[in-house]
Amino acid sequence: MNGKLNKIVSLTLIITLFTAMAVPKGTFAEATSVEIPPKILFGEVDENKPDEFDFDDEDYIEMDEKDFFRELEEDEDFEALDQIDDLSAMSPAEREVIKKIDDYLDSIPVTKEEFSLLSDEEQDKIIEEYLFTPELFDLERELERVSLQEGDEQVAAALPAVIVAVGAGVIARVAIRLIIRQGAAAASKYLKKRLKNVGKNYEVKWNVTSKTGHQVNSLVVVFQKTKKGKKRVFAIDKGTIPLKGLTGKRPRVWHYHHYPDVALHRTLCSLLPKGAKTIPNGKPDRRSVCY
């Protein structure tokens, strides 16, 4: 059974539990109302296959939140990236869903500058009102569905009628698009609320930088607790990634990692500088892809 079908099995088990616990008899149709955020699937680390190219929790240093965001803003220049709305690298189905997500995020009546001036309480209210809605939950599910079934009829046939769990990659793609529009602080608030109940087998760290000597700022890192330590299964980073076609200093770009193949650098094609190309093949920690 391939990885996608394994994920379908997980989704099916979750939906079975969901309907048994949360839906009264005779009202399954009402369960399609997506007031509850989709559960996030991180995958399970195989302790018998250690990844020498990945990080554990000891590879990170926590930063003061204000210092962290100040450091991010020093080289944040999305206006120079004129491909933000270039979705040509995606499949037609993905393009349609991503356009809906972008339109939804653009409808939030608060700019990055305005959000930064709000109090914590006011920021929380904005996040709750605009990012924890049935509309956005539906879009997360829709992106999960097209990502799973793309070009795979067997997987498409196995998908449950109602997706109640999404992969961490879906959340990362929404969060990075939110960063572009409303800033990293808004995305952090969204993620903190979204990852509030990840389960006792996981640990979440915020506003960290790596000890490895690379200039990487991680907005969030999720570790799975194992008998052999805590291993990274998800991260949203700002740093350099493997690219070809560039000369001179490589720019730091927002990207994300998720299990499996957690060493792979995943980003948005729209964030790549002109002339840059990803490196999908090669050494495990020297690869990149864009969506």
Domain range summary for the chain, segments of one domain joined by +: 3-290
Q: Quick one: tokens of 119?
A: 């109090």
Please, which pLDDT band fits residue 91 given cuts at 50, 70 and 90?
Answer: confident
Give the span between the Cα atoms of 47 and 35, in whole angstroms: 36
Average pLDDT over residues 108-120: 91
**Average pLDDT value for residue range 213-239:** 85
Segment 40-56, tens digit of pLDDT: 888 777 666 655 445 65
> If you search the block for the tokens 């927002």, which residue do you land on?
254
In whole numbers, what is the pLDDT of the chain averaged over residues?
A: 77
Confidence of residue 65 (pLDDT cuts 50, 70, 90): confident
Helices (H), 40-183: 65-73, 92-106, 112-117, 120-131, 134-149, 153-158, 168-182
Lowest-confidence pick of 52-56, 168-172, 230-234: 52-56
**Which range is least confidently modeled, 82-91, 232-241, 252-261?**
82-91
Q: What is the pLDDT of residue 12?
A: 44
Question: Which residues make beta-bridge pairs with 278?
Answer: 243
pLDDT value of position 127: 94
Residue 252 is predicted with a pLDDT of 86
Give helix 184-194 / helix 120-131 axis angle, nearest 10°.
70
Higher pLDDT, 50 or 178: 178
Please report the pLDDT score of residue 11 as a whole number.
47
Which range has the worst mean pLDDT, 83-97, 128-142, 149-163, 231-245? 149-163
Task: Dump pLDDT digits (tens) for 250-287.
Answer: 888 899 999 888 889 999 888 888 888 889 888 877 89
> Residue range 209-236: average pLDDT?
83
Judge whether residue 29 has pLDDT over 70. no
Q: What is the DSSP string of 14-51?
A: HHHHHHHHH--TT-GGGGGS--SPPEEE-----TTS--
pLDDT of 129 higher than 80 = yes
